[in-house]
Amino acid sequence: MPATAVPASAPDPGTLRTRSWWGWGYADAHPDDAECVALGSLLPGTLARPLPIPRVADLAIDRPAVTPPPALAHLVTADPHARAAHAMGKAYRDVVRALRGRPGRLPDLVARPHGDRDVADLLDWAGEHGVAVIPFGGGSSVVGGVEYRGDAHRAVLSLDLTSMNRVLEIDTGSRSARIQAGALGPVLERQLRPHGLTLRHFPQSFEFSTLGGWLATRAGGHYATVHTHIDDFVQSLRVVAPAAAGASWRLPASGAGPSPDRLFLGSEGALGVITEAWMRVQERPRHKASTSVAFADFHRALDAVRALARSDLAPANCRLLDPGEAALSGASRDGSAVLVLGFESATAAVGDRLATALDLARAHGGRGTAPLPGSGAPVDAAVSAWRSAFLRMPYLRDGLARMGAVVETFETAATWDRIPALIDAVRSEVGAAALKATGHRATVNCRLTHVYPDGAAPYFTVAVPGRPGDEVEVWDDIKAAATEVLHRHRATVTHHHAVGRDHRPRYDLQRPEPFTLALRSAKQALDPHRILNPGVLLD
């Protein structure tokens, strides 16, 4: 069946709400001062009143060091607000620097290309004039991936791809779609929905990240088993680099040498700008069921999750919250660990799979009941509480940052034989590092978000009152302690997204030397001017 061109009308712009330049998400969704104070009361030792919301007008913004040529001027802006919004990602480190009025070096210019030709022209101009180029999607990076650090270039251009946001073609026979890389998650899904299709990739940053960002960072989605990373959905990529442009072939599979797509997946814009991709899409699910299971013993809960991962049940959600995480999200009030289970399908009812999963969890000491059949069945209270907390958590982190707290989530993955010791070590050693850095005891909570037959992905959240004015230094100390533990237990430095600048030291220790040499050669061949995303991923 031939591919179908999607009508050329512009995608639904969706919301007109204003994005926060300094923090997560929408400006009108941030906690107000009273809620910030209430949040701070949960961590004794935080500030008495919240730091004020920063204003772009208060930043010292230099004049751009370069001026674009007339032929490109319509694509480029030097607007101070646009430059500030493109200076950093949304890590805790970024948020607190903005709150303290220290956002770092702002890009001189922000460009918004509309197609491949625009991207190529901008790269040509940047290469001729020594301008560093940082590809920018939704700006949700939490690892320093969209930030320029250093002084090797006379100017910096942030290349914002969000104007390239259309689903261009849909091939129903191959169930795939050609999508521009700048499409934000909701924009992409709105264009697929009339065709009964979905990409089914939903990271926590879904509203504020793009397809190109997911591809460039090898993003993990919300679903716990089977198709968890964006890699699984890629059919082919189109990339524009300073030295060349081209696309890989659309193939269901191939054993012909190293995969060209694998070279660019996770490259973080250091090898070229991903401008569009053919992606494998799916029918929208029509059957869903979910419930929660409580465990008095966290280690028995780990055994239950491992058994589920090794079964053929393939839950869409299999998220284990330790007692602290469960209490924080409102999923448990009695000190239990909570397993959130969910199943979905486009073709068949999922109640039997959920019932079998519940039986397996009960065999390991879990307590839970299957939901009643029918669309009118009430939503499990623990599942509902977890879902609300999951979506709200980044905003609450920013509220705590305004109260001077240091709040960080870091994620990893390891094989099952290492998981229990890894969790225990992170809790004790990261807690000790936070105490040493601040004089306050920290909360260190854990959740397993993705499960595999051979291992799992523990995510840890650390919260502790900081040292006023030195929050970044405290963050550095905690981050260093955490990554040292991960390295010692041979756990990945990042499971869910990218390396960026903040994970570089440990990533360099984890990658094999032949791979390092191959990446360096690829960078030199594709970017002879060394202008693309300098400092990220590659030497």
Q: Kindly give the pairing relationship between strand 455-465 and strand 443-452.
A: antiparallel
3-state secondary structure of 104: coil
The DSSP call for residue 266 is: T
Residue 28 has pLDDT above 50, yes or no: yes
- Rounded-to-integer distance, Cα 139 and Cα 141, Å: 6
Do 434 and 407 form a contact (C-beta atoms < 8 A)?
no
pLDDT digits 0-9 by tens, 323-379: 999 998 889 989 999 999 999 999 999 999 999 999 999 999 999 888 866 555 567
The mean-pLDDT minimum among 66-80, 89-103, 301-315, 496-510 falls in 496-510
Residues across the chain: 539
Residue 379 in tokens? 């939503």
pLDDT of the residue at 378 = 61
Do 336 and 326 form a contact (C-beta atoms < 8 A)?
yes
When pLDDT is cut at 50, 70 and 90, the band that residue 534 belongs to is confident
In this structure, the dihedral spanned by the alpha carbons of residues 256, 257, 261 and 264, taken in order and rounded to 10 degrees, is -170
Beta strands in 281-357 (DSSP E): 282-283, 287-295, 317-321, 337-345
- Rounded-to-integer distance, Cα 375 and Cα 372, Å: 9
When pLDDT is cut at 50, 70 and 90, the band that residue 4 belongs to is low
Residue 61 has pLDDT above 90, yes or no: yes
Q: Which residue has the higher pLDDT, 51 or 384?
A: 51
When pLDDT is cut at 50, 70 and 90, the band that residue 8 belongs to is very low
What is the residue-averaged pLDDT of the chain?
93
**Among candidates 92, 79, 102, 69, which has minimal Cα distance to 158?**
79
Q: Could you write out the DSSP letters of every residue in 335-404?
A: S-EEEEEEEEESSS--HHHHHHHHHHHHTTT-B--PPPSSTTSPPPHHHHHHHHHHHHHHHHHHHHHHTT
When pLDDT is cut at 50, 70 and 90, the band that residue 384 belongs to is confident
Mean pLDDT over 476-492 rounds to: 94
pLDDT of the residue at 385 = 85
When pLDDT is cut at 50, 70 and 90, the band that residue 506 belongs to is confident
Residue 188 has pLDDT above 70, yes or no: yes
Domains of the chain: 4-160 (3.30.43.10), 167-283 (3.30.465.10), 287-498 (3.40.462.40)
Neighbours of 41 (CB within 10 A): 10
pLDDT of the residue at 357 = 96
Predicted TM-score of the model (pTM): 0.94
Non-local CB neighbours of 485 within 8 Å, separated by 6+ positions: 422, 425, 426, 429, 430
Residue 171 has pLDDT above 50, yes or no: yes
Mean pLDDT over 499-506 rounds to: 87
